[in-house]
Amino acid sequence: MILFLKIEKLQVALVHDFLIRLGGAERVLFELSKMYPKAPIYTLLYDEKVCGSVFPKDKVKMSCLKKLPGFMRKRHKYLFPFMPMVVEQFDLSKFDMVISSSNAYAHGIVTNLRTKHLCYCHSPMRYAWDWTHNYLNEQRISEFTKRFVLKRLEKIRMWDKLASDRVDKYLANSQTVKDRISKYYRRDADVVFPPVDVDRFTARNTNENYFLIVSTLTPYKRIDLAISLFNRTGMRLVIIGDGNARSELEKMSGPNIDFLGFKDDDIVKEYMENSRGVIFAGEDDFGIVPVEAMACGKPVLAYGRGGATETVVPGITGEFFYEPTLTGIEDGMARLLLNEKNYNYMDIRKHAEKFGKEIFINGIKKAVRETWTL
C-alpha cells in the first residue's frame, strides 16, 4: 500500500519525438496524458495548428528548435544530425518518473540518478537501422548527398545505441518492435499493445460496397499497391488521409477511387462502419487501423509482415498477402472475396476487444510500478 500511494504521487513528465501530426503514436501519447493529466509534454517540435486541439499549448514544452524560423522547422528532417544534442538538453531533474513515447530520439533524454525512465517504444528509428536504404531511395537525392547522409547515420546509430543504455525499462508496442529492440539495442522489452478505443465503434453486418484505406499518404504505406489492385478490379476504393505522395497517387488512380483527404475521427468512424473491408498494404510496427476496422466487424486485407501479423487472423478476421507486388495483393484479395460470406462480424469484433484501452492502461501502470522499484 505504501508503494501504491507513493507511485500515485510521483511527479511525471512525458516526452514525445514530434507533435507535428496526429497519428498512431500520438494516440498513445494522448492516452498517457489522460493517465497523467498533470504531466507536461516535452517535444522537439510542436505545431499548434495541427495538434493544439488534442495537446494544448500550455501543456507542451517545446525544445530550443522553437527559436528557428518556420520554414526551417517544416524541413526538420534535414536537422537530424542535431536532434540527439537537442533532446539531451531537456531539464527533467525535478521529475520522479519520465515516460518517453519514442520512435526516434525521445528515448535519448538524459535523467539524473533518482529519476526513472520508462520508454514506450513505437520502434527504434527505422531510417537509421533496417530501413536506411528504403528511406534514402524515397528522397530523390544525389549519390553525393546519399553518401553524406549515410556517414551521418553511422553517428546517429552510435548515439542511438548509447542512448538505449540510459533507459531503465522498455515497453514495445508489438512483438515485432520487441524483436527490433533486442536486435539493435540488446535490451529486453515487455509488449503492451497501443490503446484502441474499441467501444467507440459499432460492429455492422451491412456495407455500402466500397473498401477503405485510412492512412498517411507516404511511400512506405504502399497505397500505390492497393491503387493498382483496384484499378485492375474496378471495385470502389475510398482513401482517407493526406501526405506528400497524394498528388502522385491521385494521378495513377482510376475513377473508382476517391481521395477524401484528412477527416476527423467521427467521419472516419462512419466510413469504416459502412465499408466492405479495410486495406492495410504497408508494413507497420503495430497498426491501429486494422484493429479499429475489426471493431466495426469488418475484414482486413493486410500485408503479412510487421504488426498486422499480431492482430489479423487469416480466415477469421481477414486475410494476408505475402508479397508486396500486384500479383501478391491480388491473391490476398481473391481469398478475402472468396471467404467474404463466411466472416462473422461479431467474431471479428470480439477479437478486436483484446486490444482495448483498459488493457493498455493496466500494462502502463504495471510497468510504472516495476520501473519505480528497479
The string of pLDDT tens digits covering residues 195-215 is 999 999 999 999 999 999 999
Task: Give me the chain's average pLDDT, please.
Answer: 93
131 vs 275, residue with greater confidence = 275
The mean per-residue pLDDT over the stretch 123-142 comes to 81
Model confidence at 338: pLDDT above 60: yes
Tell whether the model's pLDDT for residue 160 goes beyond 90.
Answer: yes
- Residue 271, pLDDT > 90, answer yes
Q: How far is CA 204 from the centre of its chain?
A: 26
pLDDT reading at 187 higher than 60: yes
Q: What is the mean pLDDT of residues 157-165?
A: 96
pLDDT in tens, 226-246: 999 999 999 999 999 998 899
Q: Are 248 and 226 in contact (CB under 8 A)?
A: no
Pairing of strands 190-191, 12-19: unpaired
At 71 the pLDDT is 65
Dist CA 333 CA 317 (whole Å): 13
Asked whether residue 270 carries a pLDDT value surpassing 90, the answer given is yes
Task: Look at residue 356 in the predicted model and tell me its pLDDT.
Answer: 92
| Cβ neighbours around 310 below 10 Å, total | 18
Considering only CA atoms, which of 166, 161, 157, 164 is closest in space to residue 81? 157
d(CA 137, CA 140): 6
Do 20 and 60 meet the contact criterion of CB atoms below 8 Å apart?
A: no
Spatial contact of 20 and 50, defined as CB atoms under 8 Å apart: yes
Among 292, 325, 285, 322, which Cα is nearest to 306's? 285
pLDDT digits (tens, 9 = 90+) for 275-305: 999 999 999 888 899 999 999 999 999 999 9
pLDDT for 5:
43
pLDDT exceeds cutoff 80 at 344: yes
**Helix, strand or coil for residue 297?**
coil
pLDDT at residue 285 in the model: 86
**pLDDT at position 140, please?**
74
Structural domains of the chain ordered from first start: 2-194+356-372 (3.40.50), 198-355 (3.40.50.2000)
The percent of residues above 90 in pLDDT, for the chain, comes to 79
Residue 147: its pLDDT value, please? 86
- Average pLDDT of the segment spanning 104-131: 94
- pTM of the predicted model as reported, rounded to 2 decimal places: 0.86
Query: What is the distance between the alpha carbons of residues 190 and 121, in angstroms, rounded to a whole number?
Result: 10
> Is a pLDDT exceeding 70 seen at residue 369?
yes
| pLDDT the model gives residue 66 | 86
pLDDT of 8 above 60: yes
State how far the Cα of 175 lies from the Cα of 189, in Å rounded to an integer: 9
Q: Region 240-255: what's the mean pLDDT?
A: 94
Q: Report residue 1's pLDDT band, with 50, 70 and 90 as the boundaries.
A: very low
Backbone angles phi, psi at 55, to 5 degrees: -120, 95
Grid cell for residue 195:
490503446
What pLDDT score was predicted for residue 105? 97
For the chain, the distance separating the N- and C-terminal CA atoms, rounded to the nearest angstrom, is: 18
Helices 357-372 and 24-35: angle between axes, nearest 10 degrees: 60
